[in-house]
Chain A
Amino acid sequence: MLAELCDLRAVSGNEDAVRNYILDKLTAAQVETRVDTMGNLLVSKGKSKRTPVMLSAHMDEVGLMIMSIEKTGLLKFSPVGGIDSRILPGIRVRIGLNGLPGVIGAKPVHLQKKNEQEKPFDEDSLYIDAGFKNSDEAGKYVSVGNFAAFDSTFTEIGNGFYRGKAFDDRAGCLVLLKLLLENNGLAFNAAFTVQEEIGTRGAAVAAYTLEPEAALVVEATAAADTPGTDKEASGTNLGDGPAISVMDSTIMVSRKMREELAEIAEKASLPYQYRRFTGAGTEGGIIALTRGGVETAVLAIPCRYIHSPHSVMKESDFNVALNLVKGWLEQRQ
């Protein structure tokens, strides 16, 4: 299912494909669902005397938006969400709902002056080439405002690793989906949210609607356990288990709640790590500050080369995360 989820295209604001996929699975299992005006998919599972806790994972991924069609038929774009424009030259993308293929072109190395190569490409000098002769032809297939997503296929690599796009946060979506489909007797609310990558927009509305007392955000987070990076700067490591956040740019996680998670992991002998950087934001922030305040924590699956067409994550981290979230739910029944 992770392969299917990750290969779907759902740039922020255009999450239909992922939502429909999840909806189909849930409908088939006769789980009741609702979709709000933002496009968040909200699901209540089980019955409980306590106010059910909320799990959240976002359906959207970073991508591009077509901003204009040049006379030459080339397409100008802007990023949707945080993308390092240095990764863009030479990648393939899929445009619009039909997934029209295109490539991001750049001036070949032969034609560059020596000093040009030292600097990254300026975003304005990049464009998508989908093979159109001119703007008239392009206009038949593409509209301004269309989304373009990274074009890559989920693959298993090495020993227990996955490569693909959008682990951030389809991995989180799958954790929630599995817990919803399982016959586990747990009661909780799940929010599959939209527009996280452009400012945690969906979560704001979902948390307001669900009014939870406690929430757990299931995310993917950056790992830099790679050559050339000092150990203290790796953020998280693949294979060390899911990362419990202590703080990010949007939230100071309550000590009580993160210790609760660590304790559950220790009791069940599940490996875990702390997220060893405090930058970047998650839905945790906006959920924690909803209405009169919500006790909130963030659990993240480490992921290398996040926000690129080919991220790498480890199967075992996902499985542990699933068990840890389940353990937390059991405790909160």
Chain B
Amino acid sequence: MNKENLVGILLELSSTAGVSGDEAAAVKAARSQFSLYTDEVKLDRFGNLIAMKKGEAPPSEKLTLALIAHIDEIGLMVTKIEPGGFLRFTSLGGIDARALPGQAVVVHGKKTVEGVVGATAPHLLSPRDRAKTVPFEKLFIDTGYDDQTLNNYVRVGDTISFIQKPLLLETGKRITGKALDNRAGVAALIFCAAELTGLRHQADLCFIASLQEEVGLRGAITAAYGLKPDLAVAVDVTHGDIPGVDEKKAFKLGDGPALGMGPNFHPPLSLAMQQTAKEYNLPFQVEPIPAHSGTDAWAFQVSREGIPTALLSIPLRYMHTTVELLDIDDLISGGRLLARLAARMNKSYLGELRGC
């Protein structure tokens, strides 16, 4: 897969709606890609997308490596339909209410209804009010319908996603759009699966696009239990470098994926990733994480009798907004690294890792 293909996949994944709990469209888009490069694609009981790629190991040497990226994105949900055709809403996942006024949205009702998050014009606000944040419960969506018509199309509990066409920026290296957290991770898995069609691998590989990460790693909890892999690597995004953000919490775009270090990760597996990157001349950064990584890795590590787990993160700026921005090269080096790690994984290497 070349860079253009990857960009194309990411642009498609980013423009598809898939807020937590309503990921079907995004899953469908990812599914068609995974089926090109893997042996079997299915949904588990929770709805997680599972793509299996068989390894060459004989039955006695079998092992499974799970690569997991969540496919859900943050969004909103209708809580009430107000007279005048306005919708009240709550958030799905962590959303900064300050970034909402003026956003274009689509309500996934019986009919899809477009709208905008309304805001009082600055002219009508006192200077004091303008200095304040509008709290979540004061915000509303204007659909342009009267409430009777709207009631036919929309119900309480319908999900709402953001409208934002992704864009390849002028340099051809950086992409901006919504839901790059974590369609970037999903794209990296697809890229990895494509890379592996040209490599031999012993381990059975299990690519998971997990649901409901943004509301509490929920898909990962059940996927880890159900699949019982021998090893797992979570692929997610981390904060990119932004002016004014503490350097220790942000990573440079274009300098390669960030590899997690800390209690949430199996130290030998994390080191094996770093080692693999060095051997294949792939750039990476080290991300120290003192406790909860806030990713699916947290759920995988303690599933059943414990799963050695590592984390690879794509640096991304402006997380949880509709203008998330990343460097496509980080995705490529991340995908390659995962493929190389997968290709070298076998029972004896696993034994070495576990023995540490």
A interface residues (Cβ-Cβ under 8 A, vs B): 12-14, 36-38, 40, 64-68, 76, 78-81, 124, 143-145, 194-195, 198-199, 201, 204-205, 208-209
Contact = CB atoms under 8 A, between A and B. Distances in A.
A144 B290 CA distance: 11
B263 interface: yes
B288 A198 contact: no
A37 B248 contact: no
Given A80-B291, A144-B286, 6 more contacts: A13-B264, A37-B354, A68-B247, A78-B248, A124-B246, A143-B286
A204 B301 CA distance: 10
A124 B306 CA distance: 34
B338 interface: no
A142 B283 CA distance: 21
Contacts of B306: 36-38, 40, 205, 209
A69 B290 CA distance: 16
Nearest to A69: B248
Interface in B258-306: 261-264, 266, 286, 288, 290-292, 301-302, 304-306
A70 to B, nearest CB: 9
Nearest to B262: A13
B316 to A, nearest CB: 19
A142 to B, nearest CB: 11
A205 B301 CA distance: 9
A89 B178 CA distance: 42
Nearest to A200: B302
A81 B290 CA distance: 8
B263 A195 contact: yes
A208 B264 CA distance: 18
A79 B290 contact: yes
Contacts of B240: none
B335 interface: no
Contacts of B301: 38, 201
Contact of A65 (B290, B292, B304, B354): B290
Interface of B: 246-249, 261-264, 266, 286, 288, 290-292, 301-302, 304-308, 354
A205 B309 CA distance: 14
Contacts of A194: 263
B315 to A, nearest CB: 15
A18 to B, nearest CB: 14
Query: Which one of B246, B304, B306, B308 has the greatest number of beta carbons of chain A within 10 Å?
Result: B306
A208 B305 contact: yes
Contacts of A66: 288
A189 B354 CA distance: 23
A291 to B, nearest CB: 10
B262 A201 contact: no
Nearest to B302: A204
A206 to B, nearest CB: 9
A144 B291 contact: no
A145 B261 contact: yes
Contacts of A40: 306
Contacts of A37: 266, 305-308, 354
Contact of B302 (A68, A144, A201): A201
Contacts of A81: 291
B263 A198 contact: yes
B305 A36 contact: yes
Contacts of A68: 247-248
B305 A76 contact: no
Contacts of A143: 286
Contacts of A78: 248, 288, 290
Nearest to A60: B263
Contacts of A145: 261-262, 286, 288
B305 A198 contact: no
B302 A65 contact: no
A205 B290 contact: no
Contacts of B290: 64-65, 67, 78-80, 198
B307 A198 contact: no
Contacts of A12: 263, 291
B305 A199 contact: no
B240 to A, nearest CB: 16
